[in-house]
Chains A and B, each alone.
Chain A
Amino acid sequence: MKERFLEVSAEAELKQNQRFDTWLSGEGIPFTDENAAAAYRERITLIKDAIQLKKPSSRIPVCPSAGFFPVQYAGVSMYDAMYDYEVLTRAWKKYCDDFTPDAYNAPTTVVPGKPLEILDFQLCKWPGQGVSKQQEYQYVEKEYMKADEYQDLIDDPTGYFMSTYFPRIFGSLKPLEKMPLFPPVNEIPCIPPALIPFGTEEIQQAFQSLMEAGQETIRWITAVRRLNGSIMGKGYPAFSGGFTKAPFDVIGDTLRGTTGIMLDMYRQPEELIEACERLTPFMVKSGVASCKATGHLMPFIPLHKGADGFMSDEQFRTFYWPTLRKLIIGLVNEGCVPQLFAEGGYNQRLETICDVPKGTTVWWFDLTDMERAKKNVGQVACIAGNVPLSLLYTATPEKVKAYCKNLMDVAGRDGGFIFSTGAGMQGAKTENVKAMIDFAKQYARR
């Protein structure tokens, strides 16, 4: 098979510039006035300069990760935010108006609850469905993919997801177990057998659920898009514009689960690596498509199971990094800027992850030593982070400010840095969030 995603293409830089131009143009955004449009472009330019490493940003952009903080800040429940889209958008608007970070996070992680109910989603417990109405959704780790199913996944990822995985994670889609294979439908006698399942009541029911869930999701995205327009219209770009994942995490998070994938590293390493390879083009395409949908260029990529402690460096270089690097190259070749959110510590990975094309990625750190990250990763990539959530939860505003000052001094030297939090801010004390953002904005302008 042809090897892909190993080298940066000759057009990558041009494509990245085109995407920056599209993002900067703000086409279709209902700006309140010319000043807002100018402020929008100025803020994107700060981020662009930080990413490209060609010249320092005129100041450090301040882009904390909101997480579910806007929901708690507005004093509403997670349940209401997931079920009443007006409540959700009001909460987000309030957060953005009151704190005015340079770039905001669209509320796309506060997913609508109704479609999950319609589909009888099994993978998570969410407010009112297994956790209290005040609480965020939480994953229920299980082996949704069995240990002996790697070959099925490798043979036909789409078919595997449709006929095996979805019936397990969506109760209402159980009938999809009977879906036909599509590649065999290529001659006239092959059509009737493939059509039969669609005539059955159970498959029709499953499609009915999908249609209802889809309609409800359109109501949600309509509200979210209106909200996005109003925030961007005041001059604030979104910090990310899409979503994709490292292939190893796709398998480790919600297919095999943490325990399952750790065992597979010993029991069936070749199958695991092959499955990661097989999923890579899907993850590239998904990142590109989600950026296209938002007119953005940075897909958010939360990194989970490659963190310090989860595996050795050798295991990281064998199992995790090769397909993550391919994902990065695949996205960069399409002009996208992968926003790599390294949750937990990445201190042991810093040397390995420097192997990325210069000025094309954002490495967003959590519990990583930013001074070290600046010294090596900072040479080839924009680094972002890393005010710890534990600090925002437990400390005083004074301590928070002291942390921010040191962070900006250390990581913000000579540009190439975006000020942010180490994780989504749910749980943070309001006075600490305020102290952090106010201080960072003021110190950035010094």
Chain B
Amino acid sequence: MSDNLVDAMVHMREQEALSLAEKMLNDGVNPLKVLEQCREAVEKVGKQFELGKYFLPELVMAGEMLKKISKMTEPFVKQDAGQNTERIGKVVIGSVKGDIHDIGKDIVIFMMDVNGFEVQDLGVDVPPEEFVDAIRQTQPQIVGMSALLTTVFESFKNTVAAIKAAGLRDDVKIMIGGGTVTDDVRKYSGADAYGKDAVAAVNLSKKWVAKNQRPPAELVV
């Protein structure tokens, strides 16, 4: 039974996944267990993405299924039960100043969240000082910056500089990404790494929280 939900989600059988989840909840299966299986399914989807078998449509579909099933579990979950999920690290993320695009950033947030990170989303067009404030308040291990436009690469650099000026540079690893971003931009900005997609962001972050040390220079995805 339980494998069926994972299987339906991994193979993009949305209706089947929703019916199965509904049935499980009505049969009294612990909603946290249902959600855990969704998470497992999304992780498998991420794996397929990494292998080049799945692409954006599947990530988006997995996100939608998870969203719908989470909503379904709400009436079954006790008020604070959702807060108990164990988190492996904290991430502050936003689209940099001057850029209002959010699709890529939101996919990264979704994948980070599913993979156990506590994510603070600063939104779009985020000035350097907001990143700095958020780092002070949230104390994340990781900062993620996103941009689509080629005219805002300077914002990456300015934000890294602001984090440094605030004395926080050694406290965080910084990753950047977005449609036009390359490793040249990473070098220019002074960020620690560039990730070409959402799964790369997750893998980078997992390595960082596992090692909890500065990555070697060649560690670039």
A173 to B55, CA, bound (A): 37
Is B53 an interface residue, CB under 8 A from the partner?
A: yes
Is A194 an interface residue, CB under 8 A from the partner?
A: no
A428 to B98, CA, bound (A): 16
Give A390-408 interface residues, CB cut-off 8 Å to B: 390-391, 393-395
Is A108 an interface residue, CB under 8 A from the partner?
A: no
Is B197 an interface residue, CB under 8 A from the partner?
A: yes
The digit string for A244-287, where 1 denotes a CB below 8 A from any CB of B, is: 00000000000000110011011100000000000000000000
Asked if B56 and A344 make an inter-chain contact with CB atoms under 8 angstroms apart, the answer reads no
Give B65-100 interface residues, CB cut-off 8 Å to A: 98-100
Is A310 an interface residue, CB under 8 A from the partner?
A: yes
B151 surroundings in chain A (CB, below 8 A): 68, 72, 135-136, 426-427
Is A315 an interface residue, CB under 8 A from the partner?
A: yes
Segment touching A, from B32-40, B160-168, B181-189? B181-189
Q: For the complex formed, measure the closest distance between the CB of A384 and the CB atoms of chain B, giving whole angstroms.
A: 18
Asked if B57 and A389 make an inter-chain contact with CB atoms under 8 angstroms apart, the answer reads no
Is A140 an interface residue, CB under 8 A from the partner?
A: yes
In the complex, residue of chain B having the shortest beta-carbon distance to the beta carbon of A264? B57
User: Which residue of B57, B150, B152, B181 contacts A262 across the interface (Cβ within 8 Å)?
Assistant: B57
B100 surroundings in chain A (CB, below 8 A): 125, 130-131, 138, 140
Question: How many B residues have CB within 8 A of the partner chain?
Answer: 32
A395 surroundings in chain B (CB, below 8 A): 184
A110 to B134, CA, bound (A): 36
- Residues in A lying within 8 Å of B, measured CB to CB: 68, 72, 125, 130-132, 135-136, 138-141, 258-259, 262-263, 265-267, 309-312, 315, 344, 367, 388-391, 393-395, 423-424, 426-428
Further pairs besides A263-B57, A309-B56: 17, Cβ < 8 Å: A130-B100, A132-B98, A141-B103, A258-B60, A259-B103, A263-B60, A263-B64, A266-B12, A267-B14, A309-B196, A367-B182, A390-B180, A390-B185, A393-B150, A423-B150, A424-B150, A427-B153
Q: Could you jot down 16 A-B contacts, CB within 8 Å?
A: A72-B151, A131-B100, A138-B100, A138-B101, A140-B100, A141-B102, A258-B60, A262-B57, A265-B57, A310-B56, A311-B55, A315-B57, A389-B180, A394-B188, A423-B180, A427-B152
